[in-house]
Structure 1
Amino acid sequence: MKIIYILFIFLSINLFSQETYDLEYYFGEDYKNFNEDIPKPSDFLLNGKEVGSSHVSHDRLIQYMYALANASKRIDIQNRGFSYEGRPLVLLTITSEENHDNLIKFKRNHVDYIDGKSDNKSSNFYSRPVVIYQGYSIHGNEPSGSNAAMLYAYYLASSNSDDVKNQLKNSIILLDPSLNPDGLQRFANWVNTNKSQNLNSDSNDREFNEHWPRGRTNHYWFDMNRDWLPAQLPESKVRIKTFQDWYPNVLTDHHEMGTNSTFFYQPGIPSRVNPLTPKKNQELTAKIGKYHESILSKNGSFFYSEEDYDDFYYGKGSTYPDINGGIGILFEQGSSRGHLQESINGNISFPFTIKNQLLTSISTLEASVDLKKELFDYQREFFNSNKHNRNEYLIVGDQHDRSKLYHFHEILKTHNIITKKLDEDKIVNGIKFKKNNSFLIPKDQRNSRLLNAMIDNQTSFKDSLFYDVSAWSFLHSFNLEHSYIKSNEKFNEFIFSKPVGSIISKSDYAYVFRWNDYYSPKALYKLLSHGLNIKVSTDKFSIENNNFSYGSILVPVSNQSKSINEINNIIEEISNETGVNFYGFNTSKTNGIDLGSNDFKKINLPKIGLIVGDGVSSYDAGEIWHLMDTRYEIPITKLKYNSLSKIDLSKYTTLIFVNGSYLNKNTVEKLKNWVKNGGNLIGFRNATKWLDSNDFIKLDFIENTAVPKDVKFIDKNKFYGAQLTSGAIFNVKLDLSHPVNYGYYKEDLSIFRNTNIYLKNDKLSFNNPIKYSKENSLVSGYISKLNYKSILNSRPFVSSRLNKGRVSVFTDNTNFRAFWYGTNKLMINAIFFGKLM
C-alpha cells in the first residue's frame, strides 16, 4: 500500500509538471475569435511553447512587441532610451486605428482640459479617450507581470470582440512591458538555467533561491520602484517623461509578493494614505477594485485589499499618480519565483501567476472606460482646486555649490515643474540668494501639488507604521537654502545649463580650488590619477581677496612629474568637465596658513574596495557603486566578502562595509592586520555592530527596549513596528574644522536616518564632529518617543585609530537612493581624508 501511495504521489507531481498551458487557459473560448494574422507569443518563445512554459528573456519580449506593432494598426511602438546595460526602454501606445490618426490632438486636448482651457460641459470633454499607463515587473524577479504583458498586448491587438473594440475606441493604453529590463533579464537567466524538465516544486531547490544580488534590482542594484520621485535612473526618467507628457487617468503597477500569499489589489491600508492625496482618489480606487474583485472571483483566485500596503511615499509607481491627478493601483501576486513552487495554498504555477496579472490588466481597462466620466471630473478638479496666489514663490539656492543646485533643478525639470530666473541678488529672511546660484519656483503652476509633496515636512501622523520611508524632502536631501517670497514682478523662464568651471588666472606656481563644489572630489581624483602631488588645507586662509575654508585643495605646479604646460592643460580640462574653478597664485604668502605650511597635508590616490555578497545590503552597496562610478568616476572594486581570505588586501587603501550581516570569522584577523598596517576602513549602519564586536573600534551603543503595556496580542506587531525608524530626516550640527566635514560651509545639515543604531556622544567634544541637534532635531518624518530621546544624546559618526590605520563608522545612510546629494561628501571625506581624522 505504501509503495502504491508513493507511486501515486510521483505520478501526480509528474503529471502536474507536464501540464500544458495554452491560449485557452488564459483567454477561454474567446481566443478562437482572435485575428489569425497577429503573431502569437509562442512564435517568439523557446521551442514555440506558450507563455509560462519558461521565463521570457527581455530580448524576446521586445522582439515580440515589435512584431505586434508591425502586424497591428492598433499598436505603435517607440524606444525612449536605454537601460544601463543597453537594453531598450520601449513603450507601446495601443488604441483604435482611428484614434492613432489623432494622437497628437488627443494628447494636447487632454492636457488643455487639465489646465481648464476647455469647458468640461462641451461634448468633447467626455467623449475623448481615457488614458491608462500599465507598467510591468519593475522588480525583475517578479516576472509574472512582463510575461502577462505579452498576452495582454496580444489580446488588445488580436481580439475581435465588440467589447474590446469599444474599449480601444474609448482609451489610449500606454503599455510599458518591462520597467526593469536588466533585472528581468538577470532573473530569467537564473530560473531558466535552473529549471528541471520535470518541474520540482520543493522551495529548497536552487531554482527558487537566487544568488546575490538577485534580479529584483537594476544594474546598480537600485529598487527602481522607489525612484519615481528621485528620478535618478535612466529607466525612471523616460517613464516619468511619458507620464508627464500624458497625465494618465489610471496607472497600474504589477508586482509579486511572497509565495504563501494570494493576490492583493489597492486600495491599501486606509490610515496610511498620504494626507496630500484627495479622498476622492481612494473612492475611485475602491470603485475600480470592484472590477478586479469580479474577474478574480470568476477565475477562482483568492485575493485581498486594504491590508499590508500603503499609499504614503509618492516615489512608488502606485502612488506617484495620486499626486498627479491620476489613480495609481498596485497589484501584488503571490510569486512562484520559478516555474512551480509549493506554498501553504498548494503548488503555485508560473502560468497561474501570469493569468491573474493578465486578468487584472483587462479589468483595469474595463473599469477605466466605464468610469472615465468620473476619472475626467476627478482629474480636472484635482488640478483646478489647488490655485495659489500668482505672486507666491519658493526661492532656493546654494551660493557655494552650483553643481548640486543644477542636479536639483534637473529633477524639477523631469517632473515638469516650472522655474523662474532671479534677476538680482536678494536677502530673504536673513538668507542671501545670489542671482546666479538661485532660482524661483512659482507656487501657482499645474504641478503645485507634486511640488508640495517633494518639499513637504511632516512630523505628525495618523499611523505610526510605514511600508516605506516617512520623509523625503528634496530641499533637505540637497541641503539647500530656501524661503518664500511674494512679488508682483514678471520673471523669465530659468534655463540652467550644466556648470562649466574655469581657471581664474593661470599660474606657473600653484592652483587652489575649494572643496565645496559637489564635483570637487571628481576633480581631485583626476588630478591624483595623473600622478600629481596634491595637498589639502587643514585650516582657513585668504589670498588676493579670495577666501578658502577647511579642505581647500592645493595643486603645486613646481616639483611635479609633468611640465607646467601639461599641468595647465590638465587643470583646464578637469575644470571644464567638473564645473570646479581653479584659482592661480604666484606666491605662498596668504592671510592665514601659507601655501608652503605644514598644515597642508599630502593626499594619496585612493584604491577602494567595496564589500559585497551574501548578507550585504545590495541597495546600500549599489548606491555607493553608482555614486563613485557614474558621478565621481572613481574606480571601486567590488570584493565578495566570502572571498576576502583569498584576496591581497594590500592593493587597497580603503575598504567600505555597508549595512549587512557579516558572519565569517575567518577574515577578521586578516582585516584587522590590514587596518593596523595603515588601512582605512569605513562601516555603515549594522556594520558598526560587527566592527565593534570584533574589536575594530570601541563603540558605546544606546540600547532601547520598548516595553509593551496594555497592548493586546493582535496589536503586538503594530507595537513593535511603531518602534522602527524606517526613514526620517534630522538636523545635525557640524564641526566644520573636522576633516569629515570639509566642504560644508554652515554648521547645520539635514541627514537621513533609517536605523535604530544610536552611539553615545563622547565626553571629549572634538570627538563629536557630527552630532544631533538638541532642539528641533526632527526635521521631517516619524520616530518613536523613546528613540527620539536616544537620538538627542547620540552622534551619527565615530572615527578611531587602530595602530597605523583608521576605522570610521556612520550610523546613517549618507547616499540614500542616490538623491541625498547633501551628505554624499561625508563618505567621500572619510575616503580621501581618513588619515587626518
Structure 2
Amino acid sequence: MKKITFLVIVFTQFISGQNDITLDYYLPQNVSYNANIPTPKEIIGHEVGEWHVTHDKLVTYMKKLAEASPRISIENRGTTYEGRPILLLTVTSEKNQANIEQIRQDHIRLTENNSNALNTDNMPIVVYQGFSIHGNEPSGSNAALAAAYYLAAAEGNEIDNLLNNTIILFDPSFNPDGLQRFAYWANSNRSHVLNPDPNDREYDEVWPGGRTNHYWFDLNRDWLPIQLPESQARIESFHHWMPNILTDHHEMGTNSTFFFQPGEPSRVNPLTPKMNQQLTKEIAKYHAKALDKIGSLYYSEEDYDDFYYGKGSTFPDINGSIGILFEQGSSRGHLQESENGILTFPFTIRNQFTTVLSTLEAAKNLRVDILNYQRDFYTNARSEASKTKNKAYIFGDEKDATKAYQLAKIMKSHLIDLYEPTGDITINGKDYKKENSYIVPKNQKNHRLIEAMFDIRTKFEDSLFYDISAWTFPYAFNLDFTETTTTGNKIDHLSIKKGSINKESSYAYLFEWHEYYTPKALNMILSKGIRAKVGKTPFFVEGKDYDYGTIMIPVQNQKLNKTALYNFLKKTADVSHIDITAVSTGLTTGIDLGSNDFEALKNQKVALIVGNGITSYDAGEIWHLFDQQYNMQISKLDTDNLNRTDLDRYTAIILPNMRGNALSSSIINNLKEWVRNGGTLIGFRNTVNWLKNNDLLKINLKEKEMTARNISFEQKESFSGAQVTGGAIFEARIDRSHPINFGYKNKTLPMFRNTNIYIEPNEQSYNNPIQYTPKPLLSGYISEENLELLKGSVPFQVQRLGRGRVIGFTDNTNFRAFWYGTNKLLMNAVFFSKIM
C-alpha cells in the first residue's frame, strides 16, 4: 500500500510540474532578458510545453519576434501543399544584419576559387538549425519557441559574442502540415489531469499520423531528390548560404534517451571526408557537456548512420558542411511512462533546447576550424575534379525528353552546371538526341555532389543501413547514361519540352507512349469522352515508325467535330509535353489503323485503399503520382469503410503495401466479386503475399531458411539486419511487347527493390514480361543469400479472375516520387490491364 501511495505522489509531482511549467525551466540562468521582446506565452497564450504548439501559432510568434528584435529578419520561402508558409529566420547581431548580403557573398566566396584571400579569423560562421521534419516529433519545433526567444531577448557579453560571430538560419518547422496535424491530435486528446498511461488514446494517433507532409511523404528522405515544396525551399536556402553546420532535431522511441551524432563509424559514406567526422566528434563534446549539466542521459556513435545523402543530417556532408542529427526519446503527447521514469513533454523540449545552444557554443568556439574545413573541402574537390580533365557524364532518353528534364531540374537546383550536346550523338550504341540529353562535366565546383548522385556501389564496409543503400539517379529515371568526353553548350535556363501537333487531320491522330506524361494526355482524352485505341504491335506510316503502345484517336464518329477535336488535342499536347501526329491514311506497314490489334480504351475510375494496416508512405506516393504528376482523379477508400463502399464505381483499385490482416473476410469477398465482374486489383510489396494467401494470385515464392552458423548472441542483430534489403537497384529483362512494358524502349529496366519477396517465374515464358537477369545487382547492398533468390525471379505477375485481372508488384514502382523510371508500370496496369 505504501508503494502505491509513493507512485501516486510521484505522478502528482510530475503532473503538477507539467501544469506549472515556466520559461525559466528551459532558459540559462543568470542571464538578463530584454523586456521589450515578447515571451511565447504572451503571444500564443500558453507556456512552452504546456500544450503542443500549432503551426499557425508558431508562425505568429516568429513574426512577432522579427517585428520586435533587430537581431531577426524573417522570410516566407513559399507554401506547403496545404498553403502553410515555409518560414526562415536569419538571426545575428544588429551590426551583421545591416551588412548581411556582403557577409553572405563573402561566405560563398569561401567555397570558390581564390578563397585564400579571405581571412577566416574575421568571418562569421553560418549555422542552419531546423526542427521537427517529422511532424509527430514535436519537441524540436516547440523548443524553437524558447530558442528563438533566447536568441532575440538574451542580453550580455556572451550572447553578443555569439551573434557577432554567427549567422543563424533558423527553420522553426521543417514540416508545417505534419506539425499542425499532430498538434491537433495531441491537444484534442489532452486531459486536464495528465495521464502517463501509454495505452491512453493521446499516445496512439490515428492513421496516417503526423510524421509526414500532406501527401504522406517522409520529408527527411527528400534532401537530395527535392521533389516536395518544403524540400525545395530549404535546399534553395542551403545553397544560397552554404551553412557550415546544419542541425536536424528529431525524436525516437519513448524508452530511448537522447542521441547525437556521430553515428555508427562503419556506416559513413566513403565519399564523406574523414575530417567531417572528426569535427562532428568535436562538436559532440559540447552536447555531452551541456546534457551532463542538466543530468540528461544520452548516447552517440550507435544506431544511426551517415550513408544516404538524402537525409538532413547527411546531405550537408557532401556539400562541405557538417550535418548533426539529434534524436530525443518521445513523450508522443504530454506525459508518458518510460523505462527511464515519467517522460514529460517539457523535458523533451529542454533537451532539444539545450543542444540548440550547445551547437551554437561549439560553432562559436570551433568557428575558424570549421570555416577552414569548408574551404579545404572545396579546394580538394576542385583538385579531384581537375584530374578528370575533360570527362563528363551524359544522360538522356531519345524517346522521352521529360524524364531527362526532371533529372536535369534536380541537378540545376543543386547548382550543378549542365551542358547541351551540340548535336545528336551515339555512344556505346545508345542515341543521345540534342534536345533530350544533358552533359554534366565532372570538373566543376560540386564535383563531389555529382559523384554522389551518379554513384554506383556494390561493396560496403558494413551490411546494415539506416536507410537505402543505392539511389543512382540515372537508374532511378531509367535514362541512358555513360561517361564521355563530349562537350556542349552551357545551359543557363532549363526549359521543359513543348508539346506539339503537326496539323489538323480528317482521319486520325497518333502518339507514342514513350513520353513521361502520356498517361496524363490519355486521361484527358478519355475523360473528355473521346474514343482512343492502343496499338499492340509496331507499325510504320507516313514516314514514321510507331512502337508498341501507340495511342490512336480516329477523327470520325467522335463527340467533337473535326476542328474542335484538333483544338482539344492541341491543348492536350501542350499541357502534357507530348507530340501528336496527324495522319491521312489507315494503310500502314504493319498493323493498319483499323486492325483488331488496336484495342479500344475506356475511361478509368481509380481507387486507392488507405487507412489502418496500409503503409502511408506507399499510399501517399501513389496519391501524389496521380494527383500531382498526371492530374488524374483518384478516390481514397478507407479500410474502415470498405464494407460500405460501392466498388462498382471503380475500374481499378490499388492496394499499397499492407501489414497484417487489414481487410476483413467480408471485404476480401467483396473484392473478389468485384474483380470477377471485370475490375483490376493492383497490389504492391507485402500485398503480394496477401493476394497469394487469399487465392487472388496463384504464385509460388522462392524461399530459403537463413540459419545462423557461428553467430554469437551479440552478433544476432547484425546477422538478421544483414538480410534486410533496405533499398537497392537491380536489372530486369523486359518483354517490350507485353502491355505492362508499353513505353519502354530498352530491353532491360532498372528496378528499385526494398523487399525480400521473390516470385518463381511462370511456366509460360510469355507470362514473365519482367524478370531479373542472372547478374541483376546494379547498385546497392543485398546479401549473397537473397541475391541468389533474386536471380531469375519475377517482380510482376498478372492473372485473370473471372472477367477481371489481379496484378502484383513485389516492389514499389513509385518510390519517394523521384523514381520516375518505373512510374509508367503502374499507369500501364491501370490503362492496359484488359489486354494483359
Letter of the aligned partner of 1:737 in structure 2?
S
Deviations 1:525-582 (A, max 9, x none): 0000100111000010010111111100011111111211221111011111111111
1:353 aligned to which of 348, 354, 368: 348
Check conservation: 2:511, 2:550, Cα contact below 8 A.
yes
Match of 2:499 in 1: 501
Match of 2:739 in 1: 739
Check conservation: 1:538, 1:600, Cα contact below 8 A.
yes
SS in 1 for 2:217: coil
- Distance in 1 (alpha carbons) for counterparts of 2:717 and 2:794: 29
Letter of the aligned partner of 1:83 in structure 2?
T
Check conservation: 2:14, 2:342, Cα contact below 8 A.
no
1:645 shift after superposition: 1.1
SS in 2 for 1:135: strand
SS in 1 for 2:115: coil
- Distance in 1 (alpha carbons) for counterparts of 2:476 and 2:572: 27
Q: How does 1:132-151 map to 2 (within 5 A)?
A: 132-151=127-146
- Distance in 2 (alpha carbons) for counterparts of 1:705 and 1:159: 62
Q: How does 1:10-49 map to 2 (within 5 A)?
A: 10-19=8-17, 20-31=20-31, 33-45=32-44, 48-49=45-46
Deviations 1:457-514 (A, max 9, x none): 0000000000000000101001111122225x67333532122111123202110111
Match of 1:478 in 2: 477
2:206 aligned to which of 205, 211, 229: 211
Check conservation: 2:419, 2:488, Cα contact below 8 A.
no
1:642 shift after superposition: 2.6
SS in 1 for 2:307: coil
1:455 shift after superposition: 1.0
Indicate yes or no: 2:777 matched with 1:778. Answer: yes
Deviations 1:771-821 (A, max 9, x none): 00113x100000011100011130000000001110010001100000000
- Distance in 2 (alpha carbons) for counterparts of 1:494 and 1:584: 34
Deviations 1:17-44 (A, max 9, x none): 122111221114335x100000101112
Check conservation: 2:422, 2:488, Cα contact below 8 A.
no
Match of 2:539 in 1: 541
Indicate yes or no: 2:615 matched with 1:620. Answer: no
Letter of the aligned partner of 1:240 in structure 2?
I
Deviations 1:107-151 (A, max 9, x none): 11111121133325x5x3321100000000000000000000111
Indicate yes or no: 2:692 matched with 1:692. Answer: yes
- Distance in 2 (alpha carbons) for counterparts of 1:582 and 1:535: 14
Letter of the aligned partner of 1:534 in structure 2?
A
Match of 1:630 in 2: 628
Match of 1:117 in 2: 114
Match of 1:423 in 2: 422
Check conservation: 1:14, 1:199, Cα contact below 8 A.
no
CA RMSD, Structure 1 to Structure 2 (Å): 1.2
- Distance in 2 (alpha carbons) for counterparts of 1:662 and 1:367: 47
1:683 shift after superposition: 0.5
SS in 2 for 1:104: helix
Match of 2:761 in 1: 761
Deviations 1:21-77 (A, max 9, x none): 11221114335x1000001011123xx331000000000000000000000000000
1:183 shift after superposition: 0.1
Indicate yes or no: 2:406 matched with 1:392. Answer: no
Indicate yes or no: 2:104 matched with 1:107. Answer: yes
Structure 2: gaps (5+ residues): none
Check conservation: 2:417, 2:490, Cα contact below 8 A.
no
- Distance in 2 (alpha carbons) for counterparts of 1:145 and 1:11: 30
- Output the TM-score relative to the length of structure 2: 0.98
Check conservation: 1:612, 1:618, Cα contact below 8 A.
yes
Letter of the aligned partner of 2:485 in structure 1?
K
Q: How does 1:641-660 map to 2 (within 5 A)?
A: 641-660=639-658
Check conservation: 2:218, 2:617, Cα contact below 8 A.
yes
2:70 aligned to which of 66, 70, 73: 73
Letter of the aligned partner of 1:467 in structure 2?
Y
Match of 1:96 in 2: 93
1:11 shift after superposition: 4.4
- Distance in 2 (alpha carbons) for counterparts of 1:9 and 1:483: 67
Match of 1:671 in 2: 671
Q: How does 1:316-331 map to 2 (within 5 A)?
A: 316-331=311-326
Check conservation: 1:323, 1:450, Cα contact below 8 A.
yes
Deviations 1:246-281 (A, max 9, x none): 111000000000000000000000000000000000
Structure 1: gaps (5+ residues): none
Check conservation: 2:504, 2:563, Cα contact below 8 A.
no
Deviations 1:609-665 (A, max 9, x none): 101111110000000000000010110001012321111100011011111125122
Indicate yes or no: 2:260 matched with 1:261. Answer: no
Match of 1:365 in 2: 360
Check conservation: 1:116, 1:380, Cα contact below 8 A.
no
Check conservation: 2:335, 2:345, Cα contact below 8 A.
yes
Aligned length: 828
SS in 1 for 2:681: strand
Deviations 1:739-770 (A, max 9, x none): 00000111111010000000001221101100
User: How has the CA–CA distance of structure 1 residues 754 and 490 changed in structure 2, closer, same or farther, with 3 Å as cutoff?
Assistant: closer
1:84 aligned to which of 81, 84, 100: 81
SS in 2 for 1:703: coil
- Distance in 2 (alpha carbons) for counterparts of 1:550 and 1:49: 64
Match of 1:806 in 2: 805
- Distance in 2 (alpha carbons) for counterparts of 1:539 and 1:148: 61
1:397 shift after superposition: 1.3
1:391 shift after superposition: 1.9
Match of 1:376 in 2: 371
SS in 2 for 1:306: coil
Match of 1:450 in 2: 449
Match of 1:792 in 2: 791
- Distance in 1 (alpha carbons) for counterparts of 2:565 and 2:608: 31
Match of 1:586 in 2: 584
- Distance in 2 (alpha carbons) for counterparts of 1:597 and 1:662: 47
- Distance in 2 (alpha carbons) for counterparts of 1:704 and 1:71: 66
SS in 1 for 2:278: helix
SS in 2 for 1:18: helix
SS in 1 for 2:250: strand
Indicate yes or no: 2:188 matched with 1:198. Answer: no
- Distance in 1 (alpha carbons) for counterparts of 2:565 and 2:773: 44
Check conservation: 2:540, 2:546, Cα contact below 8 A.
yes
- Distance in 2 (alpha carbons) for counterparts of 1:725 and 1:704: 15
Indicate yes or no: 2:52 matched with 1:55. Answer: yes
Indicate yes or no: 2:215 matched with 1:220. Answer: yes
Check conservation: 2:795, 2:810, Cα contact below 8 A.
yes
Check conservation: 1:119, 1:125, Cα contact below 8 A.
no
Check conservation: 2:408, 2:438, Cα contact below 8 A.
no
Letter of the aligned partner of 1:100 in structure 2?
Q
Check conservation: 1:14, 1:198, Cα contact below 8 A.
no
- Distance in 2 (alpha carbons) for counterparts of 1:742 and 1:96: 60
Deviates further, 477-486 or 457-466 = 477-486
1:448 shift after superposition: 1.0
Q: Percent identity?
A: 51
